[in-house]
Amino acid sequence: MARFENKIVLITGASSGIGEAAAYAFGREGAKVFLVARRADRGEAVAQRIREEGGTALFYQADMADRAQIGAMVAACVEKFGGLDVAFNNAGIDGAFNVNIPDHPEDVWDDVLTINLTGVWYCMRHQIPAMLERGGGSIVNMASMAGVKGFPGSSSYAASKFGVVGITKAAALEYADQGIRVNAVCPAVIRSEMADRVFGTDEADNEAQAASWHPIGRIGEPEEVANVVLWLASDEASFVTAETIQIDGGLGA
C-alpha cells in the first residue's frame, strides 16, 4: 500500500524545485496534495500533472509574507480535503549573498526573515491545531546547511534558517506527547532556481565549482531531498522528532 494513502499533505513553495519534487512524490504515494505557491501558473501546472498521473491535488495561491493568507491557506486545505496530516513548510527566498553585515540591505533582511522564519512559524501556528483535530501528524520544515553551519556573507539567510532549526526543535518538544512530530531538512546546494541565482549553477563552470564543495563530488537533486522529506513524514520515521537531517553530500562532515 502507498505510504500516504488518504493522507492530506500541504506543501508550500510547491511550484518549483524541492517543493515540486515533493509534490509529485507524495502524489504518487497516494496523498491528497494541497499545493501552495505565489506563482499560480506554475502551481496549477504541478497540480495538473499530479492529477494526470492518477493522483489527487489542488493548488492554492498564497504568499508566506502575508499572515492572513497563511491562516486562510490552512483553513482552505481543511475545508477542501477534510483535515491535515502532513505539512512540508518549504517556501523561502534567498535574499542577499556574498554581502557582509554592514553592507547588507535592511529591506532584504526584513523580507528574508519575514518569509523564511516568521512564515514557517505562522504556518505551524495554524497547522498544529488542524493536526490535533486528526489525532496527530508530521511537520517537515525547510532549513538549510546555512542553518547549521556558518557561511560568510549570508547573514539574513543564515539567521532565518538557524531560526527554523530552533523553532522546529521547540515545536517538536511542545507536541511530542500529542502525536505531532516536527523535523527539519538541511540541504546543501541542490539543483534549483535558487541555486542558479545564488551560485550560477546553470553554467557548467559554476556547477563544477559548487560540486567541488561537496565531498560526494556533485550538487544534489530535488528528488533526493524529497525522498528524505517523505521518509520523515511517514510512519517509517515514527520515533524521529526534533531532528535536523543534513542532505549535503558530506559538506557538513
Catalytic residues: 157
Q: What is the CA radius of gyration of the chain?
A: 17
143 Cα distance to chain centroid: 7
Kindly give, in sequence order, each residue whose CB lies less than 8 Å from that of residue 118, ignoring residues fewer than 6 positions away: 67
The three three-digit cell numbers of residue 172, written as one number: 517538536
224 Cα distance to chain centroid: 13
**DSSP 3-state of 146:** helix
CA 21, CA 222: separation in Å to the nearest integer? 6
C-alpha closest to that of 147 among 186, 108, 113: 186
C-alpha closest to that of 118 among 168, 60, 61, 160: 160
The three three-digit cell numbers of residue 153, written as one number: 556573507
* Measured CA angle at 139 (ends 134, 141), to 5 deg: 160
**DSSP 3-state of 86:** strand
Listed in sequence order, the DSSP H helices in the chain are 17-28, 40-52, 67-81, 106-112, 119-133, 155-175, 193-199, 204-212, 222-233
CA 44, CA 241: separation in Å to the nearest integer? 32
